[in-house]
Amino acid sequence: MQVSESIHLKDQTIRIEDVMDTYGTNIYHLVYCYVHDKAIAEDLTQEVFFTAHMKQLSFRQEASVKSWITRIAINKCKDYLRSSYIKRTIVSNILQPFVKNTTLSPEEVILQKDEAETLSELVLKLPIKYREVILLYYYQDFSILEISSVLKVNEATVKSRLRRGRDRLKLKIEEKELI
């Protein structure tokens, strides 16, 4: 006898495996942006989907499954970052895989990679309220409305945090003379 692993939505049932297939990579990348460690990101990603499975009956359908899973992931990351285990230096890597462009010279590729790493480091140094909206908007392609739902703040707050986060990044970039 096999136990059904699914999230129930009105008249539709979504299997947890389908949710993992659909959102697994995005959730992993989001978690990695918070923790900067592949092994920890993999563990936390598994915890996210385990929690989703265990809490599937509490899903109230006020938001999409994507927003619900993302909220679980953000909460798991914040819990991890608050834990005493994480009181160490985090070395940041590129937030998204660097896409090679065959028309660029090797020197240009290295320069772009360095700039991407520097930008990633600057994003990761932002206060959490700015960092999470920038990560969700630019790296996870969430809309303002989706971010508002995930973070449980109004849309104006999301827009404000995005603007302020970009302004802070711009200042940091100018200080480092990247532009």
Evaluate whether 80 touches 87 at the Cβ level (below 8 Å): no
Domain 1-88 has CATH 3.20.20.10: no
Nearest to 77 by CA among 122, 32, 117: 32
pTM tops 0.85: no
Nearest to 119 by CA among 91, 94, 90: 94
User: Residue 104 CB: number of other CB atoms within 10 A?
Assistant: 12
Q: How far apart are CA 41 and CA 119, in angstroms?
A: 20
* Token pair listed for 165: 């986060």
Domains of the chain by residue range: 1-88, 92-179
> What type of residue sits at position 6?
S
Q: What is the pLDDT of residue 30?
A: 92
Averaged over successive runs of 10 residues, the pLDDT of the chain (179 residues) comes to 43 70 93 86 93 80 84 89 50 38 68 75 87 85 88 93 91 73
Q: Evaluate whether 1-88 and 92-179 have a shared fold.
A: no
Q: How far apart are CA 174 and CA 169, in angstroms?
A: 9
Domain 92-179 has CATH 3.40.140.80: no
